[in-house]
Amino acid sequence: MDNLKCISKNDIENFSNHYHSRVENETISNAVIKNGIKNVSLNNQSLINMNYTFSNEIDAGTITNQKKSGRCWMFAGLNLLRINVMKKCNLENFEFSESYGMFYDKFEKFNCFLENI
């Protein structure tokens, strides 16, 4: 850490000269400015070679569907619990009642509202 030094104006000038000495840097700069760094830096070959197969598969029963009801937070939580219940009770499939949970969510919110007015 004792070898640290400030960047001098001379260093900046050297960096700038080195950058401008390469013709392709202007093309790269224009591409990044026009398309954004995320799009320009994307490596399509790596996407082609990507293995989209999961290495760990779990028995999670059938898929639960909230049908755009806005309860994804509840489905996600219950699905985590559901897998453990299925293993513990040796069940092929199991589903908690999302309606039951939703009822008590609304009930407690209403109760909180009544207590605070």
Q: List the domain boundaries for the chain.
A: 9-48, 72-116
Looking at residue 19, what is its pLDDT? 94
Residue with tokens 């050297």: 14
Torsions phi, psi for 51 (to 5 deg): -95, 115
CA distance linking residue 80 with residue 5, whole number of Å: 52
Sign, Cα dihedral of 74, 76, 77, 82: positive
Residues 52-107 have pLDDT tens digits of 887 887 777 788 888 888 888 888 888 889 988 999 999 988 998 888 988 999 99
pLDDT higher than 70, residue 1? no
pTM: 0.45
Looking at residue 5, what is its pLDDT? 85
CA distance linking residue 52 with residue 64, whole number of Å: 22
Looking at residue 58, what is its pLDDT? 74
Residues 5-56 have pLDDT tens digits of 889 999 999 999 999 999 999 999 999 999 999 999 999 999 899 888 878 8
